[in-house]
């Protein structure tokens, strides 16, 4: 089949493509709208993590230095992971609810915490519908993972680590770029599915559709196309 044959099929089955694409755009748009409006605000806090044991070494050799850095990296990873736990969410929620902040129930906090480690720096963020709550939650999150970290990682591990808030909590609109990308991907995927569905529908249709179909099946020319 040539490109013109595929185009002819799409022209013939345009309604399948149209229906699927319209439904796809509506569904993707609804998801984008909900995502955009639910994204709300994002509070961010940055922590510095170090291995306390490393400071006690003489760091005379490269191996010792690397061992200390590696341990700090592991600890920073732990801090990032623990910050996203339900226990931390519950702690943050209890701190916020004391002040009667909106959207501060454990269910609002749990699952809204994210983080990324770069070397020994951990960037934590928390999203919330309320900007005030997002900022207060980021502050509480920083406190939970620095001064109160023994509650979550145990006193022994807390003693081995050094955690300090190096960038105070800030708040800003939650990023939505990923949602836009998702929206675009969903629409593109929907168009691909629509085209595939139209082609499949055409293949499965056993009846003649055009002059070519008749001429191919009968082996004779179509003399007249009557409407």
Partner 1 sequence: MPDARSILLAWPTAGDARPSGGAGSGLASSLAEAYRSAGIEAALLSLPAESDLLLTVDELGKELSGNRLTVVEGSGLLDSPNTVLAARAVDAVVVLARRGHTRRSDLVASRRELTGAGAPVVGAVLIA
- Give the binding site for partner 1 (CB under 8 A): 206-211, 213-227
User: 5 forms bridges with which residues in the sheet?
Assistant: none
Q: How far is the CB of 198 from partner 1 (least distance, A)?
A: 15
Q: How far is the CB of 226 from partner 1 (least distance, A)?
A: 5
Comparison of 1 and 225: residue with beta carbon closer to partner 1: 225
Residue 218 beta carbon to partner 1: minimum distance, rounded to whole angstroms: 5
- Min dist CB 9 to partner 1, Å, is 14
Nearer to partner 1, 119 or 213 (CB): 213
Closest CA to 81 of 153, 143, 164, 133: 153
In the bound state with partner 1, the residue whose beta carbon lies nearer, of 155 and 225, is: 225
Tell me which residue of 74, 193, 148, 1 sits closest to 139, measured CA to CA.
148
**108 burial class (0-12, 13-18, 19+ CB within 10 angstroms)?**
buried
Tokens 């929620």 found at: 93
* Phi, psi angle pair for 169, to nearest 5°: -60, 135
Query: Could you give phi then psi for residue 100, rounded to 5 degrees?
Result: 65, 35
Residue (119 or 212) nearer to partner 1, CB: 212
Task: Quote the least distance from Cβ 20 to partner 1, whole Å.
Answer: 20
Sheet of 41-51, strands arranged across: 113-118, 121-128, 41-51, 161-173
Q: Closer CB to partner 1, residue 100 or residue 219?
A: 219
- 165 bridge partner residues: 47
């Amino acid at each position: 089949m040539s490109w013109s044959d595929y185009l002819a099929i799409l022209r013939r089955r345009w309604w399948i493509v149209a229906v699927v694409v319209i439904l796809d755009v509506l569904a993707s748009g609804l998801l984008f709208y909900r995502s955009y409006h639910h994204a709300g605000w994002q509070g961010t806090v940055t922590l510095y993590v170090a291995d306390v044991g490393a400071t006690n070494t003489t760091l005379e050799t490269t191996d010792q230095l690397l061992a200390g850095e590696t341990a700090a990296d592991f600890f920073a990873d732990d801090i990032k992971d623990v910050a996203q736990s339900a226990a931390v969410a519950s702690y943050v929620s209890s701190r916020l609810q004391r002040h009667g902040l909106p959207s501060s129930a454990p269910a609002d906090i749990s699952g809204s915490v994210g983080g990324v480690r770069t070397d020994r720096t951990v960037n934590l963020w928390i999203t919330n519908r309320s900007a005030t709550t997002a900022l207060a939650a980021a502050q509480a999150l920083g406190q939970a993972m620095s001064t109160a970290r023994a509650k979550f990682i145990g006193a022994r591990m807390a003693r081995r680590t050094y955690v300090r808030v190096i960038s105070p909590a800030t708040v800003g609109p939650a990023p939505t770029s990923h949602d836009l990308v998702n929206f675009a991907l969903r629409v593109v995927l929907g168009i691909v599915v629509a085209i595939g569905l139209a082609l499949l529908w055409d293949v499965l249709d056993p009846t003649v559709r055009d002059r070519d179909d008749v001429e191919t099946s009968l082996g004779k020319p179509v003399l007249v196309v009557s409407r």
